Amino acid sequence: MLRSPLLIALVAGLVSATGFAPLGLWPLLLISLAVLAHLVFRAGSMKAALGLGWAFGVGHFTTGLNWIAHAFTFQDAMPHWFGYGAVILLSLYLAIYPAMAAGLAWRWGRSSPTTFSLIFGAAWIVTEWLRATMFTGFAWNPLGVVWVDIPAAAKLAALVGTYGLSGLTALLAAALAAPRVRGNIAILIALPLLALGAFFAPTSRPTHDGGARIRVVQPNIGQQDKHVATLDRLNNAKLAALSGHPGARPRLIFWPEAAVPEFLEEERWVRERLAKLLGPKDLLLTGGLALIAGNDGKVIGARNSLFVLDSEAQLLGRYDKAHLVPYGEYLPMRPLLSAIGFSRLVPGDIDFWSGPGPQTLNLDGFGAMGVQICYEIIFSGQVVDRANRPDFLFNPSNDAWFGAWGPPQHLAQARLRAVEEAMPVIRSTPTGISAVIDAEGRLLASLPHMTAGALETAMPPPHNPTPFARLGQILPFALAMILAGLGVALGRRRR
């Protein structure tokens, strides 16, 4: 029997992660958060409240991020078992943010359960934003993403963003911990927000199959096969076969991140080989590497890039990944860490350099495209060039690193970006889950994990910008201020 509040909080955190994909047991997430809220409200000191939040966070992230350990099996520079240690070490750090939310709620919300619930929700908004921002940020699995399959709840992200939706989730859980609070919370918060969400809901527009087509390719090339020279011909053949044949209508063909191991800018023969797959008006979008040379001509870095190639073997555009993965695409403090045996998970001796951030590429005949490579898509409010809004987002990714839990979690977060920005998201990954997502976050088509195939369909249309697409993080912070203000006002009224 569990007697220690810290142990109860730890177990609640472990269980809470089952609310995310692939399990999707969101009621367990709410119950687990309610347990945390109950424990924190009854804590006898700030130190105890912080400890409870931290213990919950350790369990929460250790379970939810178990897929990270899988990435260590694809390199031999460090022992594979260290992947499990890396998950725990990362969780020990990330748990600081739920601890801060618990501490803030305890400090300002002790006057009543209603006040505590409101402050708890406000604090979760702020601390989840901090988690996505501090030390390059790690925004994986925000609470709000558990609602992506419940449209009535998910569309609130169009109004208050992902972090606002996470705060409402924390508020709801805290209210469940104190039944007498539920009616007050519904009147003060839930009903006005639902009304606003319905008011600002985008009007659906039909797609038109008479125009250009899109084709999303998933070759099912595992990470262990990507850098084996003897498999290059087989891998190229898979991509070529799944790209289909030119037809009467122009096609936009989507390949995954790092699909081409050669250097497209330097090697014209590679571009000519790929151009043979295209009809006169087709375009190929493929991940690849862009090399960076120093003054002496030697390669000093590389960029993880997305290239636009036409049937004449011309490169029409390039996007460079801006939000790089520490230890995956570059090694922080390289001189020190490499000296003690640390290495990047991605093979290679040079680090990737970051690009300038969200950009819009105009594709003749296909509209305007924004690009977010791999985990860039998880950063709410940072995926679109707001001065030049695209018609759709392309998210080429390499989820072959991510085991069984990572790909469905990644997909869920991409779907929430579609809701926030009111635009389609197209995902192409080597091993899945590739998908066509409409502007309301619905899956129109997808390919299962570890399955080779291709999706061919019409491009779903964008909707008009949502309030969040127009104003960004102003809205979740405004919600946090409203919740905190109501909580403080109610607390003072009771005194």
d(CA 256, CA 397): 6
Burial 374-406 (b: 16+ CB within 10 A, else e): bbbbbbbbbbbeeeebbbbbbbbbbbbbbbebb
- Nearest Cα to Cα of residue 346 among 369, 366, 321, 365: 321
> What gap in Å lies between CA 455 and CA 433, rounded to an integer?
12
CA distance 417 to 423: 8
Q: From CA 389, how far away is CA 394, in angstroms rounded?
A: 13
| CB-based burial label for 231 (10 Å; 0-12, 13-18, 19+) | middle
Inter-residue long-range contacts of 414-417, CB under 8 Å, 24+ positions, other chains counted: 414/377, 415/148, 415/154, 415/441, 415/442, 415/443, 416/144, 416/145, 416/148, 416/154, 416/157, 416/162, 416/380, 416/441, 417/372, 417/377, 417/380, 417/383, 417/393
The Cα diameter of the chain in Å comes to 77
Cα 385 from chain centre: 17
Q: Name the nearest CA neighbour of 9 among 33, 28, 26.
A: 33
Q: Which residue has the tokens 């120093």?
A: 294
CB neighbour list of residue 377: distance below 8 Å, 6 or more residues apart: 383, 393, 395, 397, 410, 413, 414, 417, 425
Give the separation between CA 309 and CA 302, rounded to whole angstroms: 19
Residue type, position 116, single letter: F
The conformational region for residue 341 under phi > 0 = left, psi -120 to 50 = alpha, else beta, is left
Query: How many residues in total does the chain contain?
Result: 495
Pairing verdict, β 213-218 and 453-458: antiparallel
Is it true that the peptide bond before 433 is cis, omega within 30 degrees of 0? yes
| Burial (0-12, 13-18, 19+ Cβ within 10 Å), 209 | exposed
Q: Which residues are catalytic?
A: 257, 321, 374
> Which of 94, 37, 102 lies closest to 65, judged by CA?
94
- Enumerate the β-bridge partners of residue 285: 254, 308
